[in-house]
Structure 1
Amino acid sequence: MITISDIAKKAGVAKSTVSRYLNGGCVSQETRKKIDKVVKETGYVPNPFARSLKAKRTYMIGVIIPRLNSPSTNKVLTGMDTTCREKGYQWIITNSNQDQNREIENLYTLAKQKVDGIILLPKKISSKHEKAFEEISTPILVLGQRSKNIPSIIYSDYKAGKTIGEYALKLGHRSFLYVSVSEEDIAVGKERKKGFLDAVKKFPETKIKIITTDFQMDAAYKTALKTLSHLKASFIACATDTIALAFLKAAHQLNLPIPEFISLTGFGGYDTLSFVSPSITTIAYPYYEVGKLAVQQLDRIIQGFKVPNLVEMPHQLIIKESTKSIL
């Protein structure tokens, strides 16, 4: 079993230096690189219990997720796990099931359990959230939505919506169906839609129909069957890849070929989109990198460093087989 003494010997530094490194103390950049290299080569993982006794920290992070069956959340969690292991944190995951009251309850519960910090993936930020943020002394970072007073990491949802809209116009489409979710989810239900609408409304002849469905695939599938039977649009933009998959399945069932009959897009960049036929054009977000960054930022907050109050992550248009030009 690798010990701190082993790390110190291999790095050519004192044991106390390795201890400062592990506990976030002052270590020169050159020395930090030496220790980083040895830690990676040996696969050394600090003992959270021993560290907590000395540093009066639990080395536990609490994470509140919106639902258990989200592909994007799973990728974020994978990134978090990587960085938690690198920094010696254990973590507790709680599920709110998109229930605001459960989110608030989980915030207070995790704080009582003396976690070093909390990462919250909320459906939206309400006044109840802001009140909880004020009352809880535990460092908090918000992911996916924007908070006034708490450091937040968001996706470029408005810009992403605009990217899809501009791409559709470039293909010659002027008649659109936008399939949204509730605007209670500001990022997915509001920002993505607004970006898309602002883009396609450039042309006065543009026709747009907006409908709302659910994040769940079965609900989206029922919406798709009902909508596609009398569809007049040539381009469908779905607020998530899950909804896009539901519309793809419904189109197959109704013998409406994609993209010959209609073009179809989503948001998310889920891996499954490459394994369906036709593969679906989408917006990809760096979910794994977001998870890593979230833990890195929270770790800095825990150590008393300042971090940006808002970080916006980029997006990328991934063109697949479900869209075509009608020019």
Structure 2
Amino acid sequence: MAMKKNIDDIAALAGVAKSTVSRYLNGGYVSDATKRKIKKVIEETNYEPNAFAQSLKAKRTNFIGVIAPRLDSYATSKTLIGIDEELKRQHCNLFIAHTGRHVEREWEYLYSFARQKVGGIILLATEMTTRHKEIINEIGLPVLIVGQQWEGLHCLVHDDDQAGWMMGKHVVGKGHRRIAYLGVTEKDIAVGVKRRDGFRRAVRQGNPSEVRYYETSFAMEEAMEETKRIMDEYRPTVIVCATDNIAFGAMKAILREGLSIPADVSVTGFGGYDISGVVHPSLTTVRFEYKEVGKKAAASVIRMMNEEEIPLLQVSPFQLIEGESVRTWT
């Protein structure tokens, strides 16, 4: 039995963008020549349009829906500022949905924004699932994933693997051979897997005597608790933290133990938050350009709405910022 065709198949066979097929099905403007191509493929394949997509026949608006996992983080707020600034520049409006890091709410908001006739969606994803891809294909809207990579979808990511590698190379180059890495859940592929694996690759190349890997949440309080456990059982010379926020928790826990940073223990982070250069000692970290990523995300989704081609994968650059929180061991 032949596999049932979906909108991606129709677009590929007709040689047009998926959004063009979606617009054709929803009664939007498509040139006569393109209409004939799409109609011919549909007839030849016996394609049956998705019922949900067919219910969305009203004209799309210039609103962009943004789905955010949390609103109280530096990374999210800076990214949203960048998105808002670029959308205003291009005379588009912004809807924001907050999920509280619940993946099921991301699914719900994808449907909800589609029903509200938004022109496109930016998903600031914490983790990706096959259900995400199913819904994105079903609603037939331009959707850009920010922060996570998923094959076949348009994604804009930070270079987490290379950032982790550079941080690993940095601490090994400073002579550290007793290292703790304080990461997060592997459900977050970007931060929990790629950032850690890049670091692991670098320290293996540097041949340190011992590296131990630990896991915490993104919350500073839990990072403090895990750091105390690390110090009680291991006493590393450096703790490499998966985010600046985790690093702040680690620093507080270390100072509460009556120890000095970096004389007794060094600490590093990832993020490059504004406060990272203000705390004492200033934090050695990797700076990601969150605001610029937001601007690029907004510009990209508008280009998708206008049926302009953009790469499936876009990668944002980073910079290692050397603060005062890492000592050199000789």
1:56 Cα offset (Å): 4.2
- Structure 1 residue 212 and structure 2 residue 218: aligned? no
Q: Distance in 1 between matches of 2:74 and 2:149?
A: 21
Q: What's the C-alpha RMSD, in Å, of the aligned pairs?
A: 1.3
Encode CA deviations 1:3-50: one digit per residue, 9 max, x unaligned.
Answer: xxxxxxxxxxxxxxxxxxxxxxxxxxxxxxxxxxxxxxxxxxxxxxxx
Aligned mates of 2:209, 2:115 — CA distance in 1:
54
In structure 2, which of residues 222, 231, 236 is the aligned counterpart of residue 233 of structure 1? Answer: 236
Partner amino acid, structure 2, of 1:261 = D
The CA deviation at 1:265 is 0.2
The reply on whether 1:109 has 2:112 as its aligned counterpart is yes
Which residue of 1 is the match for residue 270 of structure 2?
Answer: 267
Q: Which residue of 2 aligns with 1:224?
A: 227
Is the contact between residue 161 and residue 191 of structure 1 (CA under 8 Å) also seen in structure 2?
Answer: yes
How many aligned positions are there?
273
Contact 1:145 1:154 in 2 (8 A): yes
Partners of 1:179 and 1:239 within 8 A in 2: yes
Residues 205 and 281 from structure 1, CA distance in 2 versus in 1: closer, same or farther, beyond 3 angstroms? closer
Q: Quick check: 1:58 aligned with 2:61? A: yes
Aligned equivalent of 1:307: 310
CA contact (8 A) 2:184 2:218 kept: yes
Tell me which residue corresponds to 1:192: 195
Gaps of 5+ in 2: 1-57
How far 1:204 sits from its partner (Å)? 4.1
Q: Is the 8 A contact 1:58 1:114 kept in 2?
A: yes
In the alignment, which of 152, 158, 161 is matched to residue 161 of structure 2?
Answer: 158
Contact map agreement 2:176 2:208 (CA 8 A) in 1: no
Instruction: Name the CA distance, whole Å, in 1 between partners of 2:289 and 2:207.
Output: 35
> Percent identity over the alignment?
38
> Of 135, 138, 160, which residue of structure 2 is paired with 1:132?
135
Asked if 1:289 is matched to 2:292, the reply is yes
How far apart are the structure 2 equivalents of 1:285 and 1:279?
17
AA in 2 matched with 1:218: E
What residue is the counterpart of 1:123 in the other structure?
Answer: 126
Amino acid corresponding to residue 284 of structure 2 in structure 1: T
Residue by residue over 1:62-121, the C-alpha shift from the partner in whole angstroms, topping out at 9 and shown as x without a partner, is 000111211101110110111011011111111111111111011100111000000001
Q: 1:66-85 to 2 correspondence within 5 Å?
A: 66-85=69-88
The answer for the alignment partner of 1:48 in structure 2 is none
Match of 2:185 among 182, 187, 190: 182
- 2:172/2:208 contact within 8 Å kept: no
Spell out structure 1 runs of 4+ moving beyond 4 A.
none
Match of 2:46 in 1: none
Deviation, structure 1 residue 229: 2.8
Q: 1:173 to 1:135 in 2, by over 3 A?
A: same
